[in-house]
Structure 1
């Protein structure tokens, strides 16, 4: 009986998440999304929604937190002490984004959620700062902010252009820009 309830709870949360993402993908801002709309799309009662989430913002926060947790777990498998491994990590990150294309296009490009973008930046900065050696903390923080914000905007552009380059090529570009700046663009 317990497994059946857990399965039902997982299904309910899944359809609620999918419904909110679908509404956001239709260029509806989170501020205009109602619980009623989410429930109608999910074919779930409002009371069921409130058993899981307090409002659409709570649901969105839950979705974003799951993505961040999943990404951290995904990236934790890699070490970034040498440039080749950094390239592999960037490629794996872009592959993850490609696999979850609809979510990232919705949250980063269509919905332009600054909170989600900031959370992504914090994850990337944390991984990057752990590899910057021989630099004081302030310089390391500013360098990682500079590099990561540029990389996120490149990724957003890549998503807006329907991922016109494969993840491997995008990873090579981002790493080349980060490691060599404008000194070795070509």
Structure 2
């Protein structure tokens, strides 16, 4: 009996998440109502409120899930220090490619920047140590350098997504890492 409830809960949450993502493709979050999400998901509003406070809470949970999944995916790979930045960048891009639809919607079509900021934090935690090790200037400058590198990298990724991933993750990783290392030297 508990297993059925868990499967029902998972299904309900999945349908609600999918419905919000589908609606975000056509309008901003502020223009979406819980009623619309429920109609799209064919779920009762009281069921929605059993799982989420409002549609902002639902979006937050979607973002948290993607970020946690991204961290797990990146932590599963252990690279030698010298190749770590390149391989981590490739793995990050492969993950984004595997979740193309949701990443495209949250990074490009959704005007709220919270997901972009969360992705920037993931990238910062996995990549910046490698990139800033190459910079031998003032350590106080590293926060500015990391912000510049990560912001540029996120915009390259957004451009790549908007061009329907017209290049491989390896090619985009090459571009990002080349610019990062050449700009620091």
What is the TM-score of this pair, normalised by structure 2?
0.91
Superposed displacement of residue 137, structure 1: 4.6
In the alignment, does 2:167 pair up with 1:179?
no
Superposed displacement of residue 73, structure 1: 1.0
Task: State how 1:33-48 maps to structure 2 within 5 Å.
Answer: 33-48=32-47
- C-alpha distance 178-83 of structure 1, shift in aligned 2 (>3 A): farther
Instruction: Confirm or deny: 8 A CA contact 1:20 1:60 kept in the other structure.
Output: yes
Q: Pick the structure with more helix per residue.
A: 2
Q: Which moved more, 1:72-81 or 1:83-92?
A: 72-81
Superposed displacement of residue 92, structure 1: 0.9
Task: State how 1:157-168 maps to structure 2 within 5 Å.
Answer: 157-168=159-170
Other-structure match for 1:154: 156
- C-alpha distance 158-145 of structure 1, shift in aligned 2 (>3 A): same
Aligned length: 182
Instruction: Confirm or deny: 8 A CA contact 1:79 1:86 kept in the other structure.
Output: no
What is the TM-score of this pair, normalised by structure 1?
0.90
Root-mean-square deviation (Å):
1.9
Moved over 4 A (4+): 134-137
Deviations 1:7-60 (A, max 9, x none): 10000000000000000012x100010011000110100000000001110000
Structure 2 residue ranges without an equivalent (≥5): none
